[in-house]
Structure 1
Amino acid sequence: MNPSCDDADDWSWWPAPAKLNLFLHITGRRADGYHQLQTVFRLLDWGDRIGLRLRQDGLIRRHGASLPGVAEADDLAVRAAVALKKAAKSDQGVDIVVEKHVPAGGGFGGGSSDAATVLVALNRLWRTGLDPDALAALGLQLGADVPVFVRGHNAWAEGIGEQLTPIDLPPAWYVIADPGVHVPTPALFADPDLTRDSPMAKIEDFVSGYLSGNAFEPVLRRREPAVEAVLAALSNIGTARLTGSGSGCFVEFPSQQAAQAGRAGLSKELRAWVVAGVGRSPLLDALERN
């Protein structure tokens, strides 16, 4: 939802790109209960859009249509602004609009990317001067996926997803699909059928094509018929995969033309999009323009 035309000039707009996990293995569990994983994050030229308008009264407010089931104080975008304000000891405020395009619960990182965009953009607008390391550390307090969006590059990830090594990925296009179901991540991690002891791998294993699969895929296939149905449909146009711990699915293609042809081979009723993979986040490009 956009602000009214009367105050449009007061707002700045920032991209919050989605991501894919090109593979995801769980390699163990830490003493604090968090699972250790290995994955590759691929950023997309598609996602949400964040509107920010500075306030002089120090308040942080969310505007526009509320996210279903998410209170303002629990919204990751709002929490990110609060965290930055506290860390920077700022007396400034902001109005926030989250223009949603990324399906919730799909594993595309929408909420995490929203939070990262607020951190990065407000750091510029408030002139708080925090460096990327500090912003990534703040983001990690909000969610394990937030740091990769703060840093803005495709990455090999380890730990709980916060240990990032930049990785070059070839150009690619994707057909992504949303089955429309949301299984809470804690329930998936607790599932007895989840494989939690995959052997540790190296970046070279991914580059060589040795690594594939998503530890959550067999669990979601069993639990959610809609996920099984979408993966089966996508298998007719290529190698269907699951992203993250959500229900979102995708197929990779070498070109936009091939991806569009793949989408054309699917039912029009399926919620699916053709999107491009990128090597650098659109958020970093927006920073250079502002």
Structure 2
Amino acid sequence: MIETTESLRDCPAPAKLNLFLHITGRRPDGYHALQSVFQLLDWGDTLHFTLRADGEIRRRNAIAGVPEESDLVVRAAKLLKAQTGTRLGVDIDIEKRLPMGAGLGGGSSDAATTLLALNRLWKLRLSRETLCSLGLTLGADVPFFVFGRNAFAEGVGEALRPVALPSRYFLVVTPKVHVPTAAIFSDKSLTRNSEPVTITDFLAQQSCDARWPDSFGRNDMQPVVVGKYAEVAQVLEWFDRVAPARMTGSGSSVFAAFTSIAEAEAAQAKLPAGWTSAVVRSLDTHPLLAFAS
């Protein structure tokens, strides 16, 4: 990352995985209560921010299917400006690498990186707690990326406690389908009655198996997505012959964990031709963790 008084270049927006995802109920406000463990990845989008003195906020590059006015990055910048009253503006360039509709948190991570980077570039000095609260108004996953550490999550995903996870490599395979999260949450076949677990339950399983918590939990959304998208089912069936795997978030990406990059790449080499995949490393903290306190 390159930092000057006029710009912040090469700001990472890392992806995430849900190591498990349980839906424990539906709240009175209509949102779903869930439990999950979020894992940061050393893989994601890259954002560049250039200071403007005229107060304007502009996204300088087009992103297919994402109009500027509805982009979470632009919305995050405008929210931060409105909440703080700063007269400064910014030009934003986004290098997209993460697939959309894949359960990897790309849009939410981009928004969180925007909040963190502009907190620094605009010299706002807002606390991490304040930025998390602002991020929640943009999306349920945004607070996790602002929080900046691997986390045990509850509520709608905003109640976060840091959790130490072993260093691992992941093979992430993304079918060529876009899964709309809202449609999966509203599906009548989605179970919403998983028994609550504790962070102690999860950590006890981790201590037994650093490679993969296969016997711990599940993704409650996975059966719904598999029933709707044959491509996701196909990827999971392929992994059945290679390594334990699970869908992340509301899909469509599916992942398996390995203790070495060689193992992960060996599995990747067996993939059918034309499948989209990445071998990525786990992260302990967000690269922009120091941009809020």
Structure 1 and Structure 2 fold alike (TM over 0.5): yes
Residue type at the aligned position of 2:282: G
**What corresponds to 1:224 in structure 2?**
229
TM-score normalised by structure 2 residue count? 0.92
SS at match of 1:147: helix
> Out of 25, 28, 44, which is 1:28 matched to?
25
> Out of 139, 149, 161, which is 2:145 matched to?
149
- Confirm or deny: 8 A CA contact 2:8 2:117 kept in the other structure: no
- Confirm or deny: 8 A CA contact 2:169 2:257 kept in the other structure: yes
Aligned length: 278
**What corresponds to 1:71 in structure 2?**
67
Residue type at the aligned position of 1:282: P
Gaps of 5+ in 2: 1-5, 206-214
> Out of 162, 169, 174, which is 2:165 matched to?
169
* Offset at residue 233 of structure 1 (A): 1.6
**What corresponds to 1:103 in structure 2?**
99
> Out of 48, 67, 83, which is 1:51 matched to?
48
**CA deviation vs aligned residue, 1:140-166 (integer Å, no higher than 9, x gap):** 010110011011100000000000000
- Confirm or deny: 8 A CA contact 2:102 2:179 kept in the other structure: no
Residue type at the aligned position of 1:164: L
TM-score normalised by structure 1 residue count? 0.93
> Out of 29, 34, 38, which is 1:37 matched to?
34
SS at match of 2:81: helix
**CA deviation vs aligned residue, 1:253-276 (integer Å, no higher than 9, x gap):** 111111111111212311001000
> What is the Cα-based RMSD across aligned positions, in Å?
1.5
Aligned sequence identity (%): 50
Residue type at the aligned position of 2:279: V
Is the counterpart of residue 264 in structure 1 residue 269 in structure 2? yes
- Confirm or deny: 8 A CA contact 2:119 2:125 kept in the other structure: yes
CA distance in 2 between counterparts of 1:63 and 1:178 reads 28
**What corresponds to 2:253 in structure 1?**
248
| Greater Cα offset, 235-244 or 40-49 | 235-244
SS at match of 2:266: helix
- Confirm or deny: 8 A CA contact 1:17 1:283 kept in the other structure: no
SS at match of 2:137: helix
**What corresponds to 2:204 in structure 1?**
208
> Out of 275, 281, 285, which is 1:276 matched to?
281
* Offset at residue 195 of structure 1 (A): 1.0
